[in-house]
Amino acid sequence: MQLGLVGLGKMGANMRTRIQQAGHEVVGYDPRPEVSDVASLPDLVAALDAPRAVWVMVPSGEPTRTTVAQLAEHLEPGDLVVDGGNSKYTDDQPHAELLGRNKIGYIDCGVSGGVWGLENGYGLMVGGSDDDVTRMMPIFDALRPPGERADGFVHAGPVGAGHYAKMVHNGVEYGLMHAYGEGYELLCAEPLIDDVEGTLRAWTQGTVVRSWLLELLVRALQEDPGFSEISDYTTDSGEGRWTVEEAIRHSVPANVISAALFARFASRQDQGSPALKAVSALRNQFGGHAVTDTRGRSVGETGAPPTS
Amino acid sequence: MQLGLVGLGKMGANMRTRIQQAGHEVVGYDPRPEVSDVASLPDLVAALDAPRAVWVMVPSGEPTRTTVAQLAEHLEPGDLVVDGGNSKYTDDQPHAELLGRNKIGYIDCGVSGGVWGLENGYGLMVGGSDDDVTRMMPIFDALRPPGERADGFVHAGPVGAGHYAKMVHNGVEYGLMHAYGEGYELLCAEPLIDDVEGTLRAWTQGTVVRSWLLELLVRALQEDPGFSEISDYTTDSGEGRWTVEEAIRHSVPANVISAALFARFASRQDQGSPALKAVSALRNQFGGHAVTDTRGRSVGETGAPPTS
Amino acid sequence: MQLGLVGLGKMGANMRTRIQQAGHEVVGYDPRPEVSDVASLPDLVAALDAPRAVWVMVPSGEPTRTTVAQLAEHLEPGDLVVDGGNSKYTDDQPHAELLGRNKIGYIDCGVSGGVWGLENGYGLMVGGSDDDVTRMMPIFDALRPPGERADGFVHAGPVGAGHYAKMVHNGVEYGLMHAYGEGYELLCAEPLIDDVEGTLRAWTQGTVVRSWLLELLVRALQEDPGFSEISDYTTDSGEGRWTVEEAIRHSVPANVISAALFARFASRQDQGSPALKAVSALRNQFGGHAVTDTRGRSVGETGAPPTS
Amino acid sequence: MQLGLVGLGKMGANMRTRIQQAGHEVVGYDPRPEVSDVASLPDLVAALDAPRAVWVMVPSGEPTRTTVAQLAEHLEPGDLVVDGGNSKYTDDQPHAELLGRNKIGYIDCGVSGGVWGLENGYGLMVGGSDDDVTRMMPIFDALRPPGERADGFVHAGPVGAGHYAKMVHNGVEYGLMHAYGEGYELLCAEPLIDDVEGTLRAWTQGTVVRSWLLELLVRALQEDPGFSEISDYTTDSGEGRWTVEEAIRHSVPANVISAALFARFASRQDQGSPALKAVSALRNQFGGHAVTDTRGRSVGETGAPPTS
């Protein structure tokens, strides 16, 4: 089939390639003329045969909202828009309503797989009506991994369900990554372990903890032993925050995912942690604490036990 | 080669089968006569040709310590013992010393893979001397998954390193499982998600969070939709506790793994949580708090705002 | 001075008494005729001399929003409204704007102290303009504890700052209560401690952890030894959730406060924890784990080490 | 009564003063001759009338163990030793047995109050036999705060109970301090709050969160506004670690106390967090993630949605 694709960045460009390799036609639009097939969004619409299908793959938030609003203006009844970005699920219903006023369909699709998706296929989580989803199945089938459709694709529910599922996916991803991170750190700290990278690599087959993320971790360590080139400054996309907010809304105890999120926050406090400054200040107030070494043993003067 | 194997329970029996399938000879001992090849530990030793190799696969703690002590008595200089159970790594050096007095070698080997190891191979983490490890490689190669040796086997360091690596592996496993658990719970809580099991299944290919544990989770949900047959009472083997203790010893922040461990503790408080009883009692003391519904909305009488 | 007071529930009635004891006149309105001085909100307005000051002390959310909207209709330019309830701070600016259209002033005031405030005075956190706050100082001085004004009263910032400060106060309260709860639980668990209540009581003077909450905890234990009458089911007002949401918005790692919040969520899962059911199901999948006792020691059959 | 006091550091010297002010005689020993009343531990013993009481106030671990061993050698049957330091409770039974062989009594006494104890009195948690505790009551009464004995003193149980109670006290202290720290950090982060120090000061009277620690926090902020002179590098004495280890031993979920402990660990990672380096490296592997600002908003190029 024919697909319009808005956004030809790292993800969009790879997805275009994969869709084309499956035999579909893609007309791409991107504000950077050197990668774009058409000069403008109206040109994209004009270049497509009705009923059109347009996939939006631009940053979430304002850029996506603007793009959808423009499409609502230029598309026609019977056309269909897919938001494949990492939008917050609360944007989906407004998008569906805006487009629906012009009888344009709407699907939200969470896409996972990163730069590896071109080769491996992307995991897809979709929200929308049965009719709209059915209509897009050729594209979904082109994008998803080979093998059984259900292993890599789900029509999770109505509009919003796709981005919701993707948000939870990313929240889980936070937890998984941090669990491996803690294990890595503990292996590094223990003198008995001569071969940290080898230990992680051994875990990639046969063990309970084997996973694709673990394979990536081994690969990263092989490229940069000891992570000497890597900062511990870790950004976060919105999905981790949204996942914890949703956990709060639904009264779900999310201790693991929130711990992973908060660790990222802490990594960005370049002026130090105000909370820990308060703790330090308190200790000074009540104790004049003796200095202790990193094993918690008091190394203060004789006769001066740690006070508290 | 020839191997003595002590302990023919679920894990030991499977491992015997896998080792035999690789063409090795296994003489097994178990206190249950119906599964044992010999009548006693001394008989096992007598049935093996020197220099002997004996793999111990019994519960960690007292059973393993007793078995190793008996082997120290019955084996001869030049023999070799492997502890393949989930022993605490602090047991390994004492075992090595006890056996070493009689010039008997010692290897600790963490084994992961559960009941699936028979078919898939086991991930192996090994601690010991180069000579001892080299000598056991035929058995290790029989047990580990097919493919590259390093993907499923590591000689992580000296005596103790194998069980240390396995302990950390299990700590990471706690974190991974709980991250998936939180994601599952949040998907269940959200009305937009019509198909929780399908969403998890979609995650098994192409996504960042794909893993063997996730495949097992889908399998479990397919066997028991909604986990209607499953209690949330979750036991813990020692390794999760030991991992957090080691994190404390090495000053490693282990927020994720400890959160997963503590959640298991909480699941076993059949009299309720004393900590939360204290919190409830405090709220009664200062507030006579209005009752609130599960979304945290006050449902008390008009004119009675929640107090605190 | 003269004050109109809307809401004569547990908090409002006590506050009326305290304000009257300071020599001020209070005209109270409550939908329950048996406690109300006037028959309706318009009657309340009519009974007050202009320029009027009306304190709203009703449940947060819809009830407060409705009351403020009604006051915006009935009050006159130059009048002043104080919201003393536990409103979310995001309600304050809309309230200020709504009232401001009629030239009616607005102050948000977080009030802490619970049922003890009548006797001890209430801690007050205020947001609003300097002029409005100055005008209300006689009432604030009546409500706050005796002694230095700054120990119990703060003009924290513009409209919204009072409820924000109160929200953070309640978040901190969650953390403090749970810290004591964990300590209480650990003292209960340790056989060496013969006298848990006595230990906590000893902490109330001289120690670093002494506090008013600790005194309440001792009092609660004296009234109900062992908390035999108390459920661990713990509700939560909105402030704990809002505090964690604000921490997320401001990238503040809130590990302690969120842990306290999530523990309350867990206490309310009367069908058990879905996350832990998933963990249990996973363990069954890969292990057929041997049963372990509550100390984590394997008690399975010989030859069956815990598998993973 | 007469008391021998070993260790005249910050705590010991203050305690000597307070005991003397209550009319008791103190003979002090410290390795620093300029503060010591006698030249050696044997001289201390010689200077006391039998039956002697000797209070040990030296750093926990090796210094305390050495001192107790020396006292076991030099004291006589009927004498009594009190360990008032922050020893781990597992040291107490060995001390009691060592001294008991010579019919010397033993008490473990947790002491809280820091440098303020001289003026306010110290909170005391005692473990030992009834007879030994009764004998020391004059000293305990001199040290504890004025007022009711039970508000500042407890005979918590047999030998070990005093240090156990003190350990839990310090664990709770970690949680309390970090709860205030998180609240402080959030107040600092919110532009609506013009007066953070004033807000905390307002909390010191009337509110639910009022406490001695809060008063110290206000005092610290007044001495050093914004904590500009304070590092967030926070050491930890052993008690926080031991508390979490005991929680693990007793299967007590200690999410709050462990979060406070781990935050201190994180503050000391001057090479950055290895766990977060692993997380960063993973993100690079699968995503080539767009850079995001500290509010989590993607600021990457158009067409490049965050990938995962």
Residue D292, pLDDT > 80, answer no
Mean pLDDT of chain C: 93
Phi, psi of A81 (to 5 degrees): -115, 135
The reported pLDDT for the residue numbered B308 is 52
The reported pLDDT for the residue numbered B305 is 44
Other CB atoms within 10 Å distance of the CB of residue C294 = 13
Residue C83, pLDDT > 90, answer yes
Q: Compute the nearest-CA separation of D83 from chain B (Å).
A: 25
**Residue C229: which residues within 8 A CB-CB, separation 6 or more?**
none
Catalytic, D173? Answer yes
Residue D231, pLDDT > 50, answer yes
Contact D279/A264, CB-based, under 8 Å? yes
Q: How far apart are CA B111 and CA B132, in angstroms?
A: 17
| Residue C270: Cβ-neighbour burial (10 angstroms; 0-12, 13-18, 19+) | exposed
The one-letter amino acid code at B131 reads D
| Residues of B annotated catalytic, as ranges | 166, 173
Question: 3-class SS at B139?
Answer: helix
Q: Compute the nearest-CA separation of B10 from chain C (Å).
A: 6
- Chain A residues with CB-CB distance to D168 below 8 A: none
Mean pLDDT within D129-152: 98
Contact D230/A170, CB-based, under 8 Å? no
Closest CA to C101 of C75, C140, C66: C75
What is the Rg, in whole angstroms, of the alpha carbon atoms belonging to chain B? Answer: 25
Residue C298, pLDDT > 60, answer no
The reported pLDDT for the residue numbered B270 is 82
Joined together, the tokens standing for residue C90 give 């995001």
- Chain A residues with CB-CB distance to D235 below 8 A: 283, 289, 291-292, 296
Residue-wise pLDDT tens digits, B45-99: 999 999 999 999 999 999 999 999 999 999 999 999 999 999 999 999 999 999 9
Q: How far apart are CA A57 and CA A163, in angstroms?
A: 13
Given this structure, which CATH class describes domain D2-158? Answer: alpha beta
The reported pLDDT for the residue numbered B237 is 77
Residue C295, pLDDT > 60, answer no
Residue A293, pLDDT > 60, answer no
Contact D277, A230 (CB under 8 A): yes
Residue-wise pLDDT tens digits, B35-46: 999 999 999 999
Mean pLDDT within D190-204: 98
Residue A271, pLDDT > 80, answer yes
Contact C223, C215 (CB under 8 A): no
* pLDDT > 70 fraction of chain D, expressed in percent and rounded: 93
What single string gives the DSSP state of each residue in D86-117?
---GGGHHHHHHHHHTTT-EEEEEEEE-GGGH
SS3 labels along chain C? CEEEEECCCHHHHHHHHHHHHCCCEEEEECCCCCCCCCCCHHHHHHHCCCCCEEEECCCCCHHHHHHHHHHHHHCCCCCEEEECCCCCHHHHHHHHHHHHCCCCEEEEEEEECHHHHHHHCCEEEEECCHHHHHHHHHHHHHHCCCCCCCCCEEEEECCCHHHHHHHHHHHHHHHHHHHHHHHHHHHHHCCCCCCHHHHHHHCCCCCCCCEHHHHHHHHHHHHCHHHCCCCCCCCCCHHHHHHHHHHHHCCCCCHHHHHHHHHHHHHCCCCCCHHHHHHHHHHHHHCCCCCECCCCCECCCCCCCCCC
Q: Which of residues 197-236 of B touch D (CB under 8 A)?
A: 208
Contact A256, B175 (CB under 8 A): yes
Q: D230: pLDDT confidence band, cut at 50, 70 and 90?
A: very high
Considering CB atoms only, which of B112, B175, B262 is closest to A179?
B175
Contact C220/B306, CB-based, under 8 Å? no
**Residue D95: which residues within 8 A CB-CB, separation 6 or more?**
D65, D68, D81, D83, D106, D108, D159
Q: Which residue of A lies nearest to C307 if distances are taken between CA atoms?
A: A208
The angle, 0 to 180 degrees and rounded to 10, between the axes of the packed helices D255-267 and C161-189 is 110
Residue D288, pLDDT > 80, answer no
The reported pLDDT for the residue numbered C223 is 96
Residue D294, pLDDT > 50, answer no
Residue-wise pLDDT tens digits, B122-175: 999 999 999 999 999 999 999 999 999 999 999 999 999 999 999 999 999 999
**Residue A233: which residues within 8 A CB-CB, separation 6 or more?**
A267, A268, D276, D280
- Chain D residues with CB-CB distance to B275 below 8 A: 252-253
Q: How far apart are CA B298 and CA A132, in angstroms?
A: 41
* CA distances (Å), origin B130, targets A280, B1, B56, B157: 47, 18, 20, 9
CATH T-level topology, domain D166-299: N-(1-d-carboxylethyl)-l-norvaline Dehydrogenase; domain 2 (1.10.1040)
Choose the mutation target among B93, B112, B148, B186 for the interface with A, i.e. most A CBs under 10 Å: B186
Contact B296/C235, CB-based, under 8 Å? yes
Residue-wise pLDDT tens digits, C184-220: 999 999 999 999 999 999 999 999 999 999 999 999 9
Which subunits sit against B, judged by 3+ Cβ pairs under 8 A? Answer: A, C, D
- Chain A residues with CB-CB distance to D288 below 8 A: 10, 114-115
Torsion, Cα A195 A199 A200 A204, to 10 degrees, reads: 140
Residue A184, pLDDT > 60, answer yes
Phi, psi of B4 (to 5 degrees): -90, 140
pTM for the whole structure: 0.94
Contact A132, B144 (CB under 8 A): no
- Chain C residues with CB-CB distance to D249 below 8 A: 295
Domain edges within chain A = 2-158, 166-299
Choose the mutation target among D35, D214, D264, D307 for the interface with A, i.e. most A CBs under 10 Å: D307
The reported pLDDT for the residue numbered A288 is 57
Q: Which residue has the tokens 């009432």?
A: C139
Contact A268, D293 (CB under 8 A): no
- Chain B residues with CB-CB distance to C285 below 8 A: 114, 216-217, 219-220
Contact A273/C262, CB-based, under 8 Å? no
Contact B155, B108 (CB under 8 A): no
Question: Is the minimum CB–CB distance between B43 and chain D shorter than 8 Å?
Answer: no
Residue B304, pLDDT > 60, answer no
Q: How far apart are CA B75 and CA B53, in angstroms?
A: 10
Contact C255/A252, CB-based, under 8 Å? no
| Residues of A annotated catalytic, as ranges | 166, 173
Q: How far apart are CA C194 and CA D308, in angstroms?
A: 54
Q: Compute the nearest-CA separation of D269 from chain B (Å).
A: 9
More confident residue, C137 or B270: C137
Contact C253/A263, CB-based, under 8 Å? yes
Mean pLDDT within A134-153: 97
Residue C263, pLDDT > 70, answer yes
Question: Is the minimum CB–CB distance between D268 and chain B shorter than 8 Å?
Answer: yes
Contact D305/A86, CB-based, under 8 Å? yes
**Residue A164: which residues within 8 A CB-CB, separation 6 or more?**
A89, A127, A156, A157, A246, B190, B192, B193
Considering CB atoms only, which of C255, C261, C265 is closest to A259?
C255
* Cα D251 to chain centroid, rounded: 23
ipTM of the complex: 0.93
Q: Compute the nearest-CA separation of C5 from chain D (Å).
A: 21
For A274-292, letters b (16+ CB in 10 Å) and e give bbbbbbbbbbbbbbebbeb
End-to-end CA distance of chain C: 72
Least confident stretch, A144-153, A174-183, B234-243, D259-268: B234-243
- Chain C residues with CB-CB distance to B219 below 8 A: 285
Residue D297, pLDDT > 50, answer no
Q: Which residue of D lies nearest to A286 if distances are taken between CA atoms?
A: D114
| Residue A34: Cβ-neighbour burial (10 angstroms; 0-12, 13-18, 19+) | exposed
Q: C294: pLDDT confidence band, cut at 50, 70 and 90?
A: very low
Q: C308: pLDDT confidence band, cut at 50, 70 and 90?
A: low
Q: D302: pLDDT confidence band, cut at 50, 70 and 90?
A: very low
Residue-wise pLDDT tens digits, B238-267: 999 999 999 999 999 999 999 999 999 999
**Given the residues C10, C25, C173, C215, the one annotated as active site:** C173
Q: B288: pLDDT confidence band, cut at 50, 70 and 90?
A: low
Contact B165, B110 (CB under 8 A): yes
* pLDDT > 90 fraction of chain A, expressed in percent and rounded: 89
Joined together, the tokens standing for residue D125 give 């948690």
Question: Is the minimum CB–CB distance between B61 and chain C shorter than 8 Å?
Answer: yes
Residue-wise pLDDT tens digits, D199-213: 999 999 999 999 999
Other CB atoms within 10 Å distance of the CB of residue C102 = 15
Residue D30, pLDDT > 80, answer yes
Q: How far apart are CA A277 and CA D188, in angstroms?
A: 12
